[in-house]
Amino acid sequence: MSTLFDGVPLHPRNGRELNVLIIARISSKLQDRRSLGDQNALAEKYVTARFASHPISFRLIQGQGSGELLDRADLLEAEEAVDSRIYDMVVVEDIGRICRRSRAVDFCEACEDARTRLISINDNIDTAREDWRMHAFFASLKHESSNKDTSKRIRRSNRNRFIQGTIIKTFVYGYVKPPGAKTDADIYKDPNTIQVMEQIVQMLEAEASYAEVADWLNETKVPPSRWCKRSKWDASMVKNLVFNPILKGLRRWNQKISRRNNRTVRYVSEKAPEEEHLFRETPHLAFFKAERYDRLIDKLSLRGERYRNKILAKSMGNAVAEACPTSRTVWPGQHVTCGVCGRHFVWGGHGPADNMICSGVRDYACWNVVSFNGRCAGPSLLAALWRTLEALPEFDTTLVGTLRASLLERRASRKERLRSLEGRLEQTVRELGNIADAIASVGMIPTMQAKMHDLELTRQQLLLDRIAVMAETDHDIELPSVDAIRLRARELLASQDFGDQPFGRSLRKLMPVIRVYPVQALDGGDVHQRAYVDMQLAPLVGTGASELAPYLRRSVAVNLFGLPQRIKHLPHILRRIAEGGKQRRIATELGIDQAAVQRGRALHRLMEAAGTTDPYVLLKSVPAGTKMRRMEHKRYEFKPLPGFPAWPE
């Protein structure tokens, strides 16, 4: 027996009853789920109205999700049901309920192959008719076009409402959205978060990492924004908070744009073109002044460039690659450099974990093979810093007058200096772009690699100089007393924990340059390492630090080894000999061997002949008679970085 559906007969496969598959779908959780039942009722009514003599068995496959998604579970289930060839008919309200785009036509063709009739009620599609393909193509095109038009309308409305200040969805930490808020004017800063925001910025200005700020927030039990899904802070949350310009009173919109992956038809988020960005000024929401906020963002962006692309850094030379540490380390790790080749000293020299050695030695690129104990070097360098602070003289009135005159001159030339830096920076960026284009055309060659390395270092230095110029204030210089500077140093270095990251950062500021050189006593013996430290005490001053920097810079030599008896007690030995003391008695008084007294006297004669008061001499080449044999290896090739060796004056 056959039944006519719109004039086309339909025969049950099993000869007894019709098996009908109904497909229903809603797009999002915001839609009323009762719509699924409505779609099912419509399909059942359509079938029963045209078939009354045979029993009918219905199966409903329903789901929730965008019709553009082609990996939905309900779509895969429907395709498997059609391939089973059990069902006589598939009925849907419209073809878009199955899926969208050309996949909907493919589904219709799969039904045709399985001898399963598909009827889309609203689209007037019936695969039993010869013209079904044209109807299916136009229906899928209509649904795709309607989807695009809806997206454009929503986008247009959102952009206009943001400009009008009526889009207020979610906010970062520090802001309150009261019930019933309609515009930006209804949003206000949480007064309880002002001190927290100030502490966050101060930590980042002091070069704390995002992770350290997150740890502090979690330790002090500061909750994230109420719109945040996570209950604890992490580094990415801190970065997203700080890089949101609402902190300086500038709301932003449309920084991200969604792009459809045509294979899965899932949308991925990516940066929107600059012409798509929207900004709206909201001064009442600013936590910080724009100048301070912009300086911080420039500083953080510049700091992050070193870690952004390690492959690019390595292609630009060792100097940039070695500036990309992969983990935290105990100070003075990642800070001490070799004065012979310019590379960092690393932990683990000659086996012991506490020893430090030039990284160029491991690569057979440097002859400075002597290691030193880094755990002992830290206290020695810190002690030298304290001695420098104790010897710091008070500021006189002449110095204050000189500094004020210098400050007035710098203020007058600030705009011109900033304009010059911007021009040089723009030119450097253009040259980098030209080299990048050349590399893309002909590949990387040594001359281009060296040029790119030099330009990248120049660009970073120009950015630092620009930040420094922007940070200059119009305040008058108020010089603190030396006692106040020492007190500030005690507060800054209170932890005395060399493994503490903030403590290490403070020491890096106060000792920005630490270069290590090999030295040997005038009378021979073992080769040791001596550090030549450029100390900069200006960070302890505060206002006027940049003007005071030339006056608060000190160069200090620090021995990173224990002195032998003949050198350690040399002043006492010479004094007692001058007084007529005997060598044996002098040795007994000092608790040393008589041979040490004899060698100390001989060393003094060598010092007098050389016209120096330093018992050690700086080695500029490998001395004879030592165990320094690295350069005899077949893989050895001395490869200093540009600007090295840099011998101390």
Rounded CA separation 554/344 (Å): 22
DSSP class of residue 127?
A: T
Q: What share of the chain in percent tops pLDDT 70? A: 88
pTM of structure:
0.59
Angle between helices 210-219 and 194-205 (to 10 degrees): 150
| pLDDT tens digit sequence for 559-576 | 999 999 999 999 999 999
CA distances from residue 361 to 295, 351, 412 in whole angstroms, order as listed: 39, 13, 49
Cβ–Cβ under 8 Å, residues 88 and 44? no
Separation of CA 269 from chain center: 19
- Where are the extended beta strands (E) located within 411-552? 513-521, 527-536
Residue 411's pLDDT band (cuts 50, 70, 90): low
Separation of CA 144 from chain center: 40
- Where are the extended beta strands (E) located within 266-365? 267-271, 278-281, 337-338, 345-347, 355-358
pLDDT score of 545: 59
pLDDT score of 600: 92
| pLDDT tens digit sequence for 430-472 | 888 888 777 777 776 767 777 777 787 788 778 777 777 776 6
Average pLDDT over residues 493-519: 86
Average pLDDT over residues 539-566: 81
Nearest to 66 by CA among 147, 184, 166, 162: 147
Q: Is the pLDDT of residue 4 over 80?
A: no
DSSP class of residue 276?
A: G
**Cα Rg, the chain, nearest whole Å:** 38
Residue 407's pLDDT band (cuts 50, 70, 90): low
Q: Is the pLDDT of residue 394 over 70?
A: yes
- Count H helices and E strands in the chain, helices first: 22, 21
| pLDDT tens digit sequence for 258-301 | 777 766 667 777 888 877 888 889 999 999 998 889 888 888 88
Average pLDDT of the chain is: 84
Rounded CA separation 514/161 (Å): 56
How many beta carbons lie within 10 A of that of residue 603, not counting itself?
A: 20
| pLDDT tens digit sequence for 578-613 | 888 888 999 998 899 999 999 999 999 999 999 999
Nearest to 381 by CA among 245, 241, 530: 530
Q: What are the two backbone dihedrals, phi and then psi, of residue 65, each rounded to the nearest 5 degrees?
A: 160, 165
For 252, the token pair is 């932003």
Nearest to 169 by CA among 253, 234, 268: 253
For 114, the token pair is 């399985």
Average pLDDT over residues 502-525: 90
Average pLDDT over residues 376-401: 82
Sign of the C-alpha dihedral computed for residues 385, 388, 390 and 393 taken in this order = negative
Amino acid of residue 39: Q
Rounded CA separation 450/152 (Å): 48
| pLDDT tens digit sequence for 151-207 | 778 778 888 888 888 888 888 999 999 998 888 889 999 999 999 999 999 889 888
Q: What are the two backbone dihedrals, phi and then psi, of residue 233, each rounded to the nearest 5 degrees?
A: -75, 150
- Where are the extended beta strands (E) located within 182-297? 188-189, 250-253, 256-260, 267-271, 278-281
